[in-house]
Amino acid sequence: MKRFLICAVSGLFTLFAAVPAFADSSLSSAEVSAKAAILIEAGSGRVLYEKNADQPMPMASTTKIMTAILAIEKSGLDDTVVVGKNASGVEGSSIWLSVGEKMSLSDMLFGLMLASGNDAAIAIAEHVSGSVDAFAELMTARARELGAKNTNFMNPNGLPDDNHYTTAHDLALITAHAMQLPFFCEVVKTQYKKIPWEGHEWDRVVKNKNKILWNYEGGNGVKTGFTKKAGRCLSAAAERDGMQLVSVVLNAPDMFGDCMAMMDYGFSNYQNQCILEADTHAGRVKVLQGVDDGFDVYTPQDIRYPLTAQEAARVETRITLEPQLRAPVRKGQQVGSVQLLLNGRLIYEQPLFCPVSIGENSYTFNLGRLIDLWIGRKILDMAS
């Protein structure tokens, strides 16, 4: 039976992270050909299966997931990308860009993610940051922000470099964030796309190399990769019954089979349980010396977490709130959290926020209100 606990604390919890619960090991390492692999639920980040998931390894063209993230976050999709000499003729997979060719950033992203254009990656990097080196620094910094602490980027396309690496876990975190970006999702679920080919009488037609889209129920992304050094790499995603899974394999002889086996395991054993619905009343916080004496706190969204049937019966929900605050209090200020505990262990935490601003009930504040009222009345008198 799920237990619901409410308590007040004097300090705030600053943690807001998906804390991995115990990964079930019933899917054996022998069933996964990859040297490193992981399966997570994207919304919570919970690890459902892992194999050498924190081992730094090259990741080939799965690098381009981060390239796409930064393109979407740092530029406008209608931007015109002008191809420079560094982009044209890059080795490996290509969409055959020419120096001086112009293309919208949105079309360039289809060439990047579906055809895995190494030239498109360079063109995007130079458009966003002015140079590949500056863009690579931005990639690494953004990875750190997303919790990918063991990742370092040297280029936007994944061509071999000893200092270019990630881990299966890091890449899953990066992918989970990417799958929250609507245009990214639109791109990676597209099977075929026509994009312009400046100077030609016909368009380019690019085909998605990710077989998950064709061969797996609910498959909705994301990116393949291969170099001799990295081996076959894949970040794959699928959604069923409101649960979005992300699977990552690095150096995987059977990359599609590995990802499908992991996701089969995830969908068979876990459900994305709604622990608390949006707008659930979490409690009331008193405000001292304020123009109002307090405010009610509600959960901002559904709180969901992937659980097995056995785990669902053992989850505890704990709400912590500041017992009181001193005015002024600002809207959006964190005032507590919702914690999920499994077998007494913290597995997830969501912050709770103040829904309104409450000013201080002071002489200065009340004088200001009187002045505002007086000015308002004078304006009305003049208007009449």
Q: Where are the domains of the chain?
A: 3-19+275-353, 32-269
Helix (H) or strand (E) holding 298: strand 294-298
Q: Report the C-alpha gap between 245 and 39 in whole angstroms.
A: 7
pLDDT score, position 6: 37
Closest CA to 253 of 223, 230, 237, 235: 230
pLDDT score, position 378: 62
Q: Report the C-alpha gap between 223 and 233 in whole angstroms.
A: 9
Q: Per the residue annotation, which of 33, 116, 247, 337 is the catalytic one?
A: 116
> Which residue shows structure tokens 């894949």?
234
3-state secondary structure of 255: helix
Question: Which DSSP letter does residue 19 get?
Answer: -
Q: Per the residue annotation, which of 33, 44, 51, 64 is the catalytic one?
A: 64
88 is known as an active-site residue: no
Task: Give the pairing type, strands 219-227 and 204-207.
Answer: unpaired
Amino acid sitting at position 284:
R
3-state secondary structure of 277: coil
Amino acid sitting at position 108:
M
pLDDT score, position 371: 73
The length of the chain, given as a count of residues: 384
Q: How many CA atoms lie within 13 A of 159 on its CB side?
A: 15
pLDDT score, position 27: 76
Task: Look up the CATH superfamily of 32-269.
Answer: DD-peptidase/beta-lactamase superfamily (3.40.710.10)
Q: What is the CA 371 to chain-centroid distance, rounded? A: 47
Please state which CATH number belongs to domain 3-19+275-353: 2.60.410.10
Asked if 29 and 125 count as a contact pair (C-beta separation under 8 A), the reply is no
Residues 6+ apart with CB under 8 A from 104: 77, 78, 79, 80, 81
pTM of the model: 0.85
Task: Output the tens digit of pLDDT for each of the chain's 384 residues.
Answer: 333 333 333 232 233 334 444 444 467 766 899 999 999 999 999 999 999 999 999 999 999 999 999 999 999 999 999 999 999 999 999 999 999 999 999 999 999 999 999 999 999 999 999 999 999 999 999 999 999 999 999 999 999 999 999 999 999 999 999 999 999 999 999 999 999 999 999 999 999 999 999 999 999 999 999 999 999 999 999 999 999 999 999 999 999 999 999 999 999 999 999 999 999 999 999 999 999 999 999 999 999 999 999 999 999 999 999 999 999 999 999 999 999 999 999 999 999 999 999 998 866 666 666 676 667 666 666 666
Q: Per the residue annotation, which of 33, 44, 61, 247 is the catalytic one?
A: 61
pLDDT score, position 131: 98
DSSP 33-82: -SSEEEEEETTT--EEEEESTT--B--GGGGHHHHHHHHHHHS-TTPEEE
Q: What is the CA 151 to chain-centroid distance, rounded? A: 16
pLDDT score, position 365: 63
Q: Report the C-alpha gap between 30 and 291 in whole angstroms.
A: 64
Q: Report the C-alpha gap between 316 and 373 in whole angstroms.
A: 50
pLDDT score, position 5: 39
Q: Report the C-alpha gap between 226 and 68 in whole angstroms.
A: 18
pLDDT score, position 361: 83
Q: What is the CA 61 to chain-centroid distance, rounded? A: 19
Closest CA to 297 of 340, 359, 352, 357: 352
33 is known as an active-site residue: no
